[in-house]
Amino acid sequence: GQGVDEPLSATGFRQAEAAGLFLSNVKFTHVFSSDLLRAKQTAATILGKNKFCKDLEIKYDARLRERKYGVAEGRPLTDLKAMAKAAGEQCPSFTPSGGETLDEVRERARDFFEFLCRLAVELEQKEPDRQGAASRGSAGSEEQFVFPWTNHCSEAELGSDNGGAPKILDANILVVSHGAYMRNWIGYFVSDLDCTLPTNMTKSHLSSVSPNTGISHFIIKLENGNFLKPEITCVCLNQDSHL
């Protein structure tokens, strides 16, 4: 939850370092993190392992905080389940006294996602011609966005136009948040925005909470700068091979 703002444990730091090594060749343009300490430390550790982005500013946003669990915060998960059972409900839909409802969490996620889309649209408007050139730093265009679970930049990611020249992404954003929050965000992508999922993905994948430092990768296309109707493709969900 939000009320217990503990630092990462030794295991948490090892997991963050593993995620950082896994993503070390990915050149991010922006990094956003929850303003809770465990997420801030995770984001800083990931960037510390990155070959391109060690000095990139991390922006902290309260909209990325974990779901608020009210009276259940700081207590074992078994206590939350017992509270839900006593109320005749089940986790995760149960809301403890003083906690956030799932709709309230999803509203935070929607608000933050629309903020990201506006950011990407503004970037495109500032730099409309980005084909084929290494517009940021010294890395060549082929090195700009190397995702470890794809063969460099797949056609699905960067697209191809102007005679086959690769299109550099307008933004490549790392977001560090929390398990219950991300599950709600992904639910918003799928139910409200018709996110395209990998063919082998089941509903149980969508309802499960990501493992610590689990990585999900989404490609967002905004046709004609319309951030209210994004085209979203899920490349992978809760990826944890680095662990």
Question: Structure tokens of 199?
Answer: 């063919």
Closest among 205, 178, 180 to 93, alpha carbons compared: 180
Given a contact cutoff of 8 angstroms between Cβ atoms, the answer to whether 204 and 167 are in contact is: no
In one-letter notation, the amino acid at residue 175 is V
Annotation-wise, does 40 bind a ligand? no
Annotation-wise, does 142 bind a ligand? no
| Residue 213 CA from chain centroid, whole number | 10
Annotation-wise, does 67 bind a ligand? yes
Annotation-wise, does 126 bind a ligand? no
Question: Structure tokens of 192?
Answer: 């409200």
In one-letter notation, the amino acid at residue 94 is F
Annotation-wise, does 38 bind a ligand? yes
Buried b / exposed e over 128-159, threshold 16 CB at 10 Å, is eebeeeeeeeeeebebbbbbeeeeebeeebbe
In one-letter notation, the amino acid at residue 113 is F
- Binding-site residue ranges for substrate: 38, 66-69
- Binding-site residue ranges: 38, 66-69
